Chains A and B, each alone.
Chain A
Amino acid sequence: MISWPGLIAQLTEILLAILLAPVLLGWVNQCRAWMQNKSGPGILQPYRTLRKLFAKEAVLAHNASPLFRAMPYALFACMCLAAAIVPILGTDLPFSPAADAIALVGIFALARVFISLAAMDIGTAFGSLGARREMMVGFLAEPALLMVLFNASLISHSTSLTTIVEHLAHVEFVIYPSLAFAGIAFTMVSLAENARIPVDNPSTHLELTMIHEAMVLEYSGRHLALIEWSAALKLFVYSCIGIALFFPFGIAEGGDAAGLLLALPALAAKLAIGGFVMALIEMISAKMRIFRAPEYLGTAFLLAVLAMLIHLLLGS
């Protein structure tokens, strides 16, 4: 049933995700800078980048099709939708029954299809190069992500994210060995899916090496701003999925305002720690050769399957 507090909680959550996503990206970048003994641009830098890009004129290739134009909006919409169904602060989400964990993976896949098609639209060598690398990473990462989500589903007997989180947040504090394996698999997948080291390098200047950046080379102005914002949002949503599945403690049950307010600092703390860990992983690893990505994601898939076997065999 859709209740007013629920609707408000839902809208708050989406707005919060959209507004806070760049901070997380800024925080990860800031941590990376600190770890390199640099002072760093500050955690608000992504907002400045967005403001700059929105103020700039968008330049389009002459042969750009409507798809090319529409992609940034479609991408942004996909990420907003994903943010809507992932429990970020509370579990009373009216949108949640509309889409479960499988649909969530589908939404990410839809975004991927859009961005890859748009990358090939102009016909530049880099766009196509990036698109096919993205597809390679994508088709390996999606099954692994699905397996991770199924793990959680098996424990809570539901594929609905809110139910999963409610279940995991309310059980007695037990350590599920299956979730530990799934957690490692999920970390590996999220690094790959968010174009981070060791699969891709978000700060790369090497046009021949990149994946995500190669696909969006032809974008500028507000289009690029939306793409950057979507990328930040994707990182935020992935982090929230990770938190919801593996560290749900502190999330608000239902949609009461007090619970939501209390959930906020917990979320911030968890994101800060998660971002720091991500920066640390990036700092100590090198980027893999691109054909190591199948091995890497294969390992993630294997770990997720192992987690499932552990659950089925040991029932834990």
Chain B
Amino acid sequence: MAEPLLRVENLVRRFGGIIATDHVSLDVAAGELHAIIGPNGAGKTTLISQLTGHLSPHSGSVLLGGRDITYLPAYRRCALGLARSFQITSLLLDFTAADNVALAAQAHAGTSFRFFANARKEKGLRDAAHAALDRVGLAHRADVVVNRLSHGERRELELAVALASKPKLLLLDEPMAGLGVTESQRMVKLLQELRKEVSIVLVEHDMPAVFALADRISVLVYGRVIASGDPAAIRQNEDVKRAYLGDQHVVTHHG
């Protein structure tokens, strides 16, 4: 089998006495959409943060395309083709949508130690920004300051920013969080398009969306992966059903 794009081996992260990530191992193949689900507090965001480099694991390793990136800082991982979106929207609120995306493009287009020329007039960056905005359907809002964008638009802008860095692997931390029904449907449609171009790790609560999109699903409970497999297998898995007892209807009914 070919080298997986992302390989996580025996990752451990503790907060005091709590083990938030408990010997997690998983592989993401190139071209795959790999979903990570789990009840609240299962350690999904902790896991993602270790993948992006915002948090260091206590042991274990993270490999991107065979290269050990376990202790690389976030900005270096980004340069290697790893992009993320945040669970709680994290954008430059006082910048326009186009500026947000153009900055992401700028990070991957030569040095930013240029002090004199007007960056907003660099055609390459602006074109890249508009292409990414167009991709997520926000082209008409390019010059609006993020403060004035709706929640749904901000979620889409998060995606555009991630796309602008031309990533190999996209880590999406609950892209549907807080979206209404129609907005969620738009987002699912968008992700269905994007997954043709880029490998995706998707952390998501929205079960219908996960089962509609994922090639493979890993289930995280108390920091541990209790099951990993294709959507059909996960749906049948007894451990998963038990873990989701309170939320069981979510798995069975909507599936």
Whether chains A and B associate is no
B residues neighboring A (CB under 8 Å)? none
